[in-house]
Structure 1
Amino acid sequence: MTPTLRSAGAVTAAAGLLLSLAGCAGMGGSAEAAAPSANADCASVDKVTVVLQWVTQAQFAGYYAAKDKGFYADQCLDVTIQEGGTNVVPQQVLASGNAEFAVSHVIKSMASREQGADVVNISQTFERGAYLQVSWADSGISSLTDLKGTKMGSWGGGNELTLYAALKAEGIDPTTDITVLQQPFDMSMLLNHEADSVQAKTYNEYAQLLETVNPATGKLYQPSDFSVLDFQKLGYGTLEDGVYARGDWLAEGDNADIATRFLAGTNEGWAFCRDDADACVDMVVAQGSALGRTHQAWMMNEINKLMWPSTAGIGALSEEDWKRTVQVGIEGGVLTKDPGTDAYRTDLNAAALKLLEAKGVDVTGADWTPATVTLTEGGK
């Protein structure tokens, strides 16, 4: 990694960075072809990689916007965005040294940390959770305890951790009290009545249900056709997408400065997607996502709900929410202990927010309100 000559130690010398960044103009271009990697004010450019926890979709639009609109370039960064997938565990890619940053959930990452991975949360992008367990409206499932004795779809791969923790906290052992079925990453298992309930996220799989034609009516399914257990509303919401780096890497040279600038660029990307959601939908569609445009528009709107309005600025970690998330993991037997305060840092994102405020970026979105998105068959 080449240290920048333009600035060093953003955490301890934020004032100097504010002056240099205030004059940096944003640059346009295509994320897939001509995204800028630097600007004229950069004495040098730091190359870094961020690994996502799934394939390209609006869930990660802020990263693509930061690259496409030149926000990373404004921070003297050349960022490679690496897609995730079924065989990609972001925090493990990070721990192995194959990326400088990773997008992951707190419980997943802290489980990896217990196993020896030196992963540290440096920005909590999503302030709110999106996990759902969905069943048919006539299933009789209206609470977590109603899942006992049922056939339950679950993705596995770490995505079951919040679900299992909540069940165990309710006195239900998912390994003996429930028949757990391996759920594909779609809603076919519920639609085909192969399972009584399935996992979903507000921004993706739930929309897949509402994009499906009800054969009894010839029209799309409606929310009233389903019973939804929202873990956030049930008190088992856990912190989901956040940015992670390695603790030992952050301690080396100017890497804390690089991390601060990466967070500034990323957070500005998310602010852009808040203010111009349609443009961000276009970006992820242009990246070749297999999901249709109306599905992506739904996802972008729901993702924005997880961030905006932001209580203390995009990416700011609530220690109360952190403790609740860790406690859910412990009570559910996913974590054996509190990982301690070394498992997260709030100073880097705080410095990043100061950089953005100096550029006039709205980091809280206090006036943001969600849009109304009309889904179409198949999300096209």
Structure 2
Amino acid sequence: MAIRARRMLAALTTAVAMSAVSIATPAVAADKKAVISQAFQSMLYLPLYVAIDGGFFTKEGLDVTKQTAGSPSAALSAVLSGSADFSLHGPEWTAVAAEKGADVDVIANVVNGAAVWIVASPDSKFSSIKDVKGQTVVSGQMPTTSTSLFFKLMKENGMSPADVKLSQVPLGSEIGPLVAGQSRIAVMYEPGADQAVAKGMKVVIGFPKLYGEYAFSAISAKRSVDPDVAARFVKGMEQALVFMQNNPTETLAIARREFPGLDPEVVNAAVKRMLNEGVYPKNVDITPKALTVAMDTQISLGNLKQQPKYTTFIEQNYIHQALAAK
């Protein structure tokens, strides 16, 4: 667990070093093309898929190619090395890189809620987080935000990780031990939460409602990114987010096409939950509060030394252009 985290941070540090010695000249867009490197193919990133599949980037005269890196650090490293124009992952990775001297910042919101839920077996008596004490709890392997938020919530309620028997498993496999009865409680992302609900489990805590605005996932870019390409990209994302709020039926159809291997009803339920609970933002803006709440989690875990300066870390220029273009 600790070794894996160190390896990921080491890879990111190497990429930062490579970025620092590169020639800081703006990338030139050939025929207005752009590459985005996403950490994973994730339902959280649905706004990006809507922007692509719904033709919103095309409307802005931008041909976007999506690549999947396999981890947040690898996605950001693609931007730092110049093999991608943009990356999509938690903004904490960008904050860590910027703190180490990389010329990167955040240019648009994608996920604005703490998209984590605690799910329990149907016969579990659960009235508050304190009911997890002494229980076996399944959660994703660190480093991951779901487990980090679980630790944060326990700490806020006078508890520590030692108060539970934590079983860390690969992300996406949390449902297995829960359904098998090896645990009565699991900490999950979507679509895992609604896959569990479909099997009779119940959602007992929703972190989006607990924490409100939370900069969970965002678009990052180097400061030397082609400004015209970046402006077009953020405008495309803005149109996609507005579309999602106003056209839930069409949004669900895009989600089902993007995740054909999942039960369509689970996809529908997961997307509806995230729309209803404000996980998908209404626009590309990131407020100071959303950034502060998210970065406080990373500071408390020791991943970040201090809050990034909002006015320089969040590139407002592209956001303002996108909001003004409505």
Greater Rg, structure 1 or structure 2? Answer: 1
1:321-332 map, 5 Å: 321-332=290-301
Report the alpha carbon displacement of residue 118 of structure 1 after superposing the two structures with TM: 4.5
- The match for 2:204 is 228
Are the structure 2 counterparts of residues 124 and 234 from structure 1 closer, same or farther at C-alpha, using a change threshold of 3 Å?
A: same
Assess if the C-alpha contact under 8 Å between 2:72 and 2:89 holds in 1.
no
Q: Does 1:103 align with 2:99?
A: no
- The match for 1:269 is 240
Report the alpha carbon displacement of residue 273 of structure 1 after superposing the two structures with TM: 3.1
Report the alpha carbon displacement of residue 330 of structure 1 after superposing the two structures with TM: 2.4
**1:319-340 CA distance string (max 9 Å, x none):** 1222222223323444332122
Assess if the C-alpha contact under 8 Å between 1:165 and 1:334 holds in 2.
no
**1:236-294 CA distance string (max 9 Å, x none):** 873212211123x34xxxx2232121011122123233333333333344446321322
- The match for 2:285 is 316
Of 121, 124, 133, the residue aligned with 2:118 is: 133
Q: Does 1:294 align with 2:265?
A: yes
Report the alpha carbon displacement of residue 151 of structure 1 after superposing the two structures with TM: 2.1
Under a length normalisation based on structure 2, what TM-score does the superposition of the two structures give? 0.77
Q: Does 1:168 align with 2:144?
A: no
Are the structure 2 counterparts of residues 287 and 309 from structure 1 closer, same or farther at C-alpha, using a change threshold of 3 Å?
A: closer
Report the alpha carbon displacement of residue 104 of structure 1 after superposing the two structures with TM: 1.6
Assess if the C-alpha contact under 8 Å between 1:49 and 1:80 holds in 2.
yes
1:225-374 map, 5 Å: 226=202, 228-235=204-211, 238-247=214-223, 249-250=224-225, 255-287=226-258, 289-305=260-276, 307=278, 314-341=283-310, 342-355=312-325, 357=326
Structure number with higher helix proportion? 2
1:85-100 map, 5 Å: 85=70, 89-100=74-85
Distance 1:170 1:96 in 2: 42
Aligned residue pair count: 296
- The match for 1:75 is 60
Are the structure 2 counterparts of residues 324 and 97 from structure 1 closer, same or farther at C-alpha, using a change threshold of 3 Å?
A: same
Are the structure 2 counterparts of residues 147 and 107 from structure 1 closer, same or farther at C-alpha, using a change threshold of 3 Å?
A: farther
Are the structure 2 counterparts of residues 133 and 111 from structure 1 closer, same or farther at C-alpha, using a change threshold of 3 Å?
A: farther
Aligned CA-pair RMSD? 3.1
Instruction: For 1:173, give the aligned amino acid.
Output: S
Assess if the C-alpha contact under 8 Å between 1:151 and 1:195 holds in 2.
yes
Distance 2:158 2:102 in 1: 30
Are the structure 2 counterparts of residues 307 and 170 from structure 1 closer, same or farther at C-alpha, using a change threshold of 3 Å?
A: closer
Assess if the C-alpha contact under 8 Å between 1:56 and 1:83 holds in 2.
no
Are the structure 2 counterparts of residues 246 and 288 from structure 1 closer, same or farther at C-alpha, using a change threshold of 3 Å?
A: same
Distance 1:132 1:173 in 2: 19
Report the alpha carbon displacement of residue 123 of structure 1 after superposing the two structures with TM: 1.3
**1:336-380 CA distance string (max 9 Å, x none):** 32122332222211111212x1xxxxxxxxxxxxxxxxxxxxxxx
- The match for 2:38 is 52
Instruction: For 1:268, give the aligned amino acid.
Output: Q
Are the structure 2 counterparts of residues 234 and 207 from structure 1 closer, same or farther at C-alpha, using a change threshold of 3 Å?
A: same
Report the alpha carbon displacement of residue 232 of structure 1 after superposing the two structures with TM: 3.2
Report the alpha carbon displacement of residue 149 of structure 1 after superposing the two structures with TM: 3.1
Are the structure 2 counterparts of residues 182 and 228 from structure 1 closer, same or farther at C-alpha, using a change threshold of 3 Å?
A: same
Distance 2:221 2:178 in 1: 37
- The match for 1:218 is none
Query: What is the SS of the residue equivalent to 1:130?
Result: coil
- The match for 2:20 is none
Assess if the C-alpha contact under 8 Å between 1:52 and 1:90 holds in 2.
yes
Instruction: For 2:166, give the aligned amino acid.
Output: V
Under a length normalisation based on structure 1, what TM-score does the superposition of the two structures give? 0.67
Distance 1:340 1:171 in 2: 30
Distance 1:323 1:3 in 2: 33
Assess if the C-alpha contact under 8 Å between 1:62 and 1:266 holds in 2.
yes
Distance 2:308 2:72 in 1: 26
